[in-house]
Amino acid sequence: QKIATRSRTRKKQGRFSDDHSFNMFEQIRSNKRKTVFIVLCMAFFLFITGYVLAEAQHPGAGPVGLLIAFVIWLVMLLVSFFAGDSVFLAVSGAKQIQQADNPMLFNIVEEMKIASGLKFMPRVFIIDSPAPNAFATGRSPQKASVAVTTGLLERLNRSELQGVIAHELGHINNRDILYMLVVSAMMGAIVLLADVGVRSMFFGRHRSRSSSSSGGGQLQLVMVVIALVLMILAPLIAQLIYFALSRRREYLADASAALYTRYPEGLANALEKIATNASPLQGASKATAPMYIVNPLAISGNTLKDATSTHPPISARVAILRRMAGLSATSGLVTYKAYDAAFKQVTNTNKGVLPGMSLLGDNGVPLMAVSQGEQPHIDRRREATDTLWKVNDYIFVDCPCETKLKIPPVYRGQKITCPHCQTEHHIPLQ
């Protein structure tokens, strides 16, 4: 009954969707323009690098290098579009779960789906890791997935978990997930081509020497210098562009999460807990780190680490959300305007982070007065562990003595005895 009531409440909150959809439309349009811009910039660096590298190795072979660069770009683009999410989920060790595996997590995802106005329920995945973190991926809202770690389920209470899920659904709604996949592939292509160029120049020095004795030696030497400069600068410039736009998208997702949950403090508290985690996230790399809510490679010890590349400083994100909560408490409404104003105050700048047109018609939603009660830590840990066991085909048997027997899939017996009350149970067939 509580779940049904909560869902109806979220549907009522969805009545602000006319203004909200207008805001989202403007943000999505702005994001698409920036995505096209960065993809074209990276394609430019890739093509120029390919041309110059080929020309430096073999005078007159520039068009061949350009063609090779184009093929690499096209293949990486197609792979990222059609299989990027599957590859990322596999590399991260994520396993898909069903509602019966963790009803609370599914309820939260469904609530945030309704609040965000998404038409499709994302697939839900879990990662066996003590490091609290989460990400969203997929090429479209219809093909989207959300993944959380067991460490996140264990450490966060319900309102904090809502904030994290809302942030990830904000990425889905803002069409950031396709951008992340495509741009990561473009970055990989540029780095790959630069690496191949370095190796070929080292292993092909004898060719350069033989050609330098001919008439075109000076021109080839110039091309070699240009190639070396491009191999160093192209990946660096592409990364700087990528990082700048990625940080902006994190701010937008934070703002969206605050509106979906109507409780900015929830996400702020969650970010603090994630940032003060000392557990390493296995499977995270420079290629996958931008996908997570907090950069797993920038977290160290019990500090709020601001030296991060793809994400804004965590302390700034938390301060903006808390300032937004203060502004919302005064007006009683959670709005994009409040987030933009908080951003300007915290970063001490006159330029906001949200597109100007998206702030028009922003009537906001009522602020949620208090957070929900916190579930005991031991219960959250047990639920997270149980979810993993269910995904790994463990059979759960409830005993009258309130013991929950967890039978591994390798067990071949038809009966099992409770170690506490000695009651014999028949193992249900799967």
How many other β-carbons are positioned within 10 Å of the β-carbon of residue 296? 25
Q: Is residue 214 part of a domain?
A: yes
| Domain final residue, candidates 366, 394, 413 | 366
Q: Are residues 354 and 384 in the same domain?
A: no
In this prediction, residue 75 carries a pLDDT of: 85
What is the predicted pLDDT for the residue at 238?
Answer: 66
Region 391-416 average pLDDT: 88
Tell me the residue range of the domain where 258 lies: 2-366
Asked if residue 114 and residue 44 are part of one domain, the reply reads yes
Per cent of the chain over pLDDT 90 is 35
Annotated active-site residue in 168, 250, 265, 383:
168
> Residue 37's closest CA among 253, 182, 136, 144?
182
Domain assignment of residue 372, yes or no: no
**120 domain residue, yes or no:** yes
Please say if the pLDDT value at position 371 is more than 70: no
pLDDT band at 1 (very low <50, low <70, confident <90, very high): very low
Distance, in Å, from the CA atom of 69 to the CA atom of 63, rounded to the nearest integer, reads 10
pTM: 0.81
Share of the chain above pLDDT 70, in %: 76
Q: Is residue 371 part of a domain?
A: no
Q: Per the domain annotation, does 271 fall within a domain?
A: yes
Residues 301 and 410 in one domain: no
305 and 178, same domain (yes or no): yes
> Quick one: average pLDDT of 343-361?
80
Structure tokens at 220: 């080839």
Other CB atoms within 10 Å distance of the CB of residue 291? 27
- Lowest mean pLDDT of 54-68, 115-129, 196-210, 299-313, name the range: 299-313
Looking at residue 7, its pLDDT comes to: 42
Q: Which tens digit of pLDDT belongs to each residue from 49-76? A: 888 888 777 788 889 888 988 888 888 8
Number of domains in the chain: 2
Angle, alpha carbons 273-323-274 (nearest 5°): 10
User: Do 112 and 48 fall within a single domain?
Assistant: yes
Residues 387 and 342 both lie in one domain = no
Q: Give the CA angle between residues 281, 235, 70 to the nearest 5°.
A: 110
The count of other CB atoms within 10 Å of the CB of residue 409 is 11
Ranked by mean pLDDT, which of 148-152, 204-208, 290-294 comes out on top?
A: 148-152
Supply the pLDDT for residue 346.
95
> Same domain, yes or no, for 133 and 184?
yes
- Whether residue 255 sits in one domain with residue 114: yes
CA distance 299 to 147: 19
pLDDT tens figures, 5-46: 444 444 444 444 445 554 566 666 776 777 777 778 778 878
Highest mean predicted confidence (pLDDT) among 47-56, 229-238, 356-365: 47-56
Kindly report, residue by residue over 401-410, the tens digit of the pLDDT: 988 888 888 8
Cα separation, 103 vs 135, in Å, equals 19
Active site residue 168: yes
Residues 319-326: what's their mean pLDDT?
96
pLDDT of residue 53: 80
Q: 193 in a domain, yes or no?
A: yes
297 and 395, same domain (yes or no)? no
Instruction: Report how far residue 242's alpha carbon sits from residue 229's, in angstroms, rounded to the nearest whole number.
Output: 20
Please say if the pLDDT value at position 161 is more than 70.
Answer: yes
Lowest mean pLDDT among 97-111, 272-286, 287-301: 287-301
- Single out the residue in 346, 366, 386 at which a domain terminates: 366
Indicate if 198 and 279 belong to the same structural domain: yes
Low-confidence winner among 8-12, 197-201, 418-422 (lowest mean pLDDT): 8-12
Are 330 and 261 within one domain? yes
Verify that 98 and 168 share a domain, yes or no.
Answer: yes
| 305: amino acid identity, one letter | K
Give the pLDDT band of residue 309 (cuts 50, 70, 90): low
Q: What is the pLDDT of residue 362?
A: 67
CA distances from 288 to 85, 135, 151, 184 (A): 11, 10, 18, 8
Bridge partners of residue 398, in order along the sequence: 404
Q: Among 336, 366, 396, where does a domain finish?
A: 366
- Residue-level pLDDT at 322: 97
Band of residue 385 on the pLDDT scale cut at 50, 70, 90: confident
